[in-house]
Amino acid sequence: MNASNSLLKYHKTAALSLSGKPHAEWQDRLLSQGITAWHDRTVLSPLTYLGYPICSSIAQRNVAFQKLYTMIQTAISIHSQRIVSIRGRSQLLSLRGLGTAFLNYRIFPRIFFALLSQPRANGGLGLLDPLKQQQALQWRWACPLLLDTMQSSLLSRYTVPSFPYLAYPLKWLYFSSSLPHPLCYFLFPSARSSYWFPHIPPVAQDYLNPFVLLLSCLSAFAPDIFDPGSIDEAINLSPPIHEICLPKLPTNHPDSSSFIPPDQLLGRPPGSKHLVVNDVFHYDAELQAFRVRLFLAPSARHLIVIKRLANMIISQKLRLQPFLRPFCFPCAVPLLDSSSPSTLRPLCRRLLISSPRRPHYSHSFSVPRGS
């Protein structure tokens, strides 16, 4: 067999199991052709191809990382013995942890990585943060997904031929019968469970899931995407109930000492994790506002839990996020149309604009009761 004008050397060829599973039948066939090297997930070390480790298990990934770590650590030890200025050190290495230790060698007090990574104009060294660099690369994929959700004409400007191959597995892996869109998994932290998205891969297989990096990218670059100016009534009714609860109060708030975080209150009834806002609130067409459900059909799911949550909201034990408050007052948001389908366009637009966070708190708030 010819390859690049040279004979293929079977004794130097290694066969790789794409699924990672051992295949005795394939091993026997390859062995009969003189190919003795076989690699699957049972091997301790990863297969190296063109200098890149191909991992079939978490153990192999750990071995590859440890090898890279040791190589960088050895290089640091060599350069640490030389007389190099702190600015010169920043040009030798930009790896968090090891890089910080290298730059702070024989320096007291130590300089934090947050300061080292600041631009030189701000007093830093411009040290690259590997995590932020990785997230910036993932943003190239996040932007087309957000524009596609918005059905924006700007999507045509992104020349990403493989985008359809990314969108299809995203819609399948993150399909939910309760939430309106796969991106809800990325936008609503309390929805990241197999209850809402039954097809998501287990945590043990995160190293094979390309969307894990996309999740960290959207979480890192996302501003406070919920505010009264960017949310419509359809979105307000669709997220899990945890998303509308105020997580904390500022220390100077008069009720901060008696405030109980929603994780503690909602953790007691387990069924609360399986509720969306529409289970607890309903839209009043006459008042054009959201109202707490007080009377439910006997066949309603989690009936007791919903009544308990409704009482907590009315008594202000559970405080609502600022973005929901205008929708709970009559005529605060005129001309609401509860029949319109839920859309994530405002949230996606908010992500792309990336406006700064501006927390809002109020001293008192009451929710109109429903009928």
Write out pLDDT tens, residues 188-201: 888 888 888 888 88
In what helix (H) or strand (E) does residue 215 lie, and over which residues does it extend? helix 211-221
In what helix (H) or strand (E) does residue 214 lie, and over which residues does it extend? helix 211-221
Residue 51 Ramachandran class (φ > 0 left, ψ -120 to 50 alpha, else beta): left
Residues 20 and 43 in one domain: yes
pLDDT in tens, 198-238: 888 887 777 777 788 788 788 776 555 555 545 555 555 67
Residue 336 falls inside a structural domain: yes
Residues 280 and 313 in one domain: yes
Residues 253 and 286 in one domain: yes
Residues 258 and 217 in one domain: no
In this structure, what token pair is assigned to residue 259?
Answer: 């405030």
pLDDT in tens, 92-149: 445 567 777 777 777 778 877 778 888 888 888 787 777 777 777 788 888 888 888 7
Q: How confident is the model at residue 4 (pLDDT cuts 50, 70, 90)?
A: low
Lowest mean pLDDT among 20-24, 56-60, 121-125, 301-305: 301-305
Percent of the chain with pLDDT over 70: 74
Please, are residues 186 and 212 in contact by the beta-carbon 8 Å criterion? Answer: no
Residue 367 falls inside a structural domain: no
Residues 238 and 202 in one domain: no
Residues 205 and 143 in one domain: yes
Q: Give the N- to C-terminal CA distance of the chain in Å, as an integer.
A: 80
- Whole-model pTM: value is 0.56
Residue 228 falls inside a structural domain: no
Q: How confident is the model at residue 342 (pLDDT cuts 50, 70, 90)?
A: low
Highest mean pLDDT among 118-122, 317-321, 333-337: 118-122
Instruction: Give the number of domains in the chain.
Output: 3
Highest mean pLDDT among 97-111, 112-126, 267-281, 292-306: 112-126
Residue 68 falls inside a structural domain: yes
* Confidence at residue 343, expressed as pLDDT on a 0 to 100 scale: 62
In the predicted model, is pLDDT for residue 179 greater than 60? Answer: yes
Look at the block and give the residue holding tokens 């366009």.
345
Residue 160 falls inside a structural domain: yes
Range of the domain at 139: 132-221
Lowest mean pLDDT among 102-111, 215-224, 293-302, 354-363: 354-363
Please provide the average confidence, as pLDDT, over all residues in the chain: 73
Residues 240 and 349 in one domain: yes
Residues 61 and 150 in one domain: no
